[in-house]
Amino acid sequence: MTSSTNGKYDRRPLIAGNWKMNLDHVQGITLLQKLAWTLDDAGHDYQRAEVAVFPPFTDLRGVQTLVRGDDLQVVYGGQDLSPHDSGAYTGDISGQFLEKLGCTYVLVGHSERRAIHQETDELLNSKVKAAFRHNLTPILCAGEGLEVRQAGNHVEHTVSQLRAGIDGLTAEQVGQLVVAYEPVWAIGTGEVAGPDDAQEMCAALRAELGSLYDAETAGKVRMLYGGSVKAANAGAILKGKDVDGLLVGGASLDAAEFASIVRFEHLLVTD
């Protein structure tokens, strides 16, 4: 991925910051303001690389107000959503509410949701469908743990998570999807999958979509890599031709670091 037009298909690079359970709504606004200023000062062209943040739910209203008030081009989304639209689901958040708050995206199936909350592929499939019902673009996360990687079954494992997550979607929906490959062993550990690993998996995921749907549909899907991404390694990972962006955790909490990931020179090459 070296441009905003990846060959025949227009896959605008997406650099996404997952804040996880960090930053209260005041801290969140401060970070977003700083990020926007830094990117503006650098003359960032959002058409060349889209920038998204995923704050905690309690920050979203403040983020919406700031984005609207200051006319920011940064987009945002929820870190999760309920498979249901409303009702007696204490503690859950409906896609309907996220849509009302101006969210563009929603993360589905982050490995921390899969591991800590035991979310199954079947549940995640209903969350993906709930996202589409509320005009949110799901970012479906998939990736293997260390044991699976060591056994050499990482491609099969991750591809099967993707297959289960998109069960029953139309080709039109799949074409809008974003998929994030996040190897669990590389999240928050400082271990990064090598650029070749990221490319191998993104290509395998795309190939699977090609065989389940068709090449044109698969060619539209943006594939992100996530796991210990920093400004120092972002460029090498983004060189993979099937890697269309990054899902950044820890480094997205530092405005300057995240802005330099967004601004990595490879994103700015014109073709």
- By CB under 6 A, what part of segment 153-182 binds ligand 13P? 182
Residues with catalytic function = 110, 182
Q: Which residue type occupies 10?
A: D
- Please, which of residues 22-51 interact with ligand 13P by CB under 6 A? none
CA distances from 145 to 61, 111, 142, 173, 195 (A): 34, 9, 10, 28, 18
Note whether 247 binds ligand 13P by CB under 6 A: yes
Numbered residues of the known binding site: 18-20, 188, 228, 249-250
Distances (CA, A) of 60 to 28, 33, 100, 104, 192: 9, 14, 11, 12, 30
- Give the total of residues touching ligand 13P (CB under 6 A): 14
CB of 249 vs ligand 13P, minimal distance in Å:
2
Contact 102, 71 (CB under 8 A): no
101/76 Cα distance (integer angstroms): 10
What is the contact mask toward ligand 13P in residues 91 to 130, using x (rule: CB under 6 A)?
-------------------x--------------------
Listed ranges 37-45, 128-136, 225-233, 254-262: which one lies at the site for ligand 13P (CB under 6 A)? 225-233
Decide if residue 234 touches ligand 13P (CB under 6 A).
no
Question: Which of 150, 153, 162, 141 is closest to 205 using CA atoms?
Answer: 162
Instruction: For residue 188, state whether it binds ligand 13P (rule: CB under 6 A).
Output: yes
Q: Which residues are annotated as a binding site for substrate?
A: 18-20, 188, 228, 249-250
Binding status of residue 13 toward ligand 13P by CB under 6 A: no
What does the chain come to in residues?
271
- Site membership for ligand 13P, residue 248 (CB under 6 A): yes
Helix (H/G/I), strand (E/B), else coil: 105: strand
CA distance 252 to 268: 20
C-beta closer to ligand 13P: residue 53 or 267? 53
Residue with tokens 């962006």: 245
Q: Is 75 in the site for ligand 13P (CB under 6 A)?
A: no
Residues that bind ligand 13P (CB under 6 A): 18, 110, 182, 187-188, 226-229, 247-251
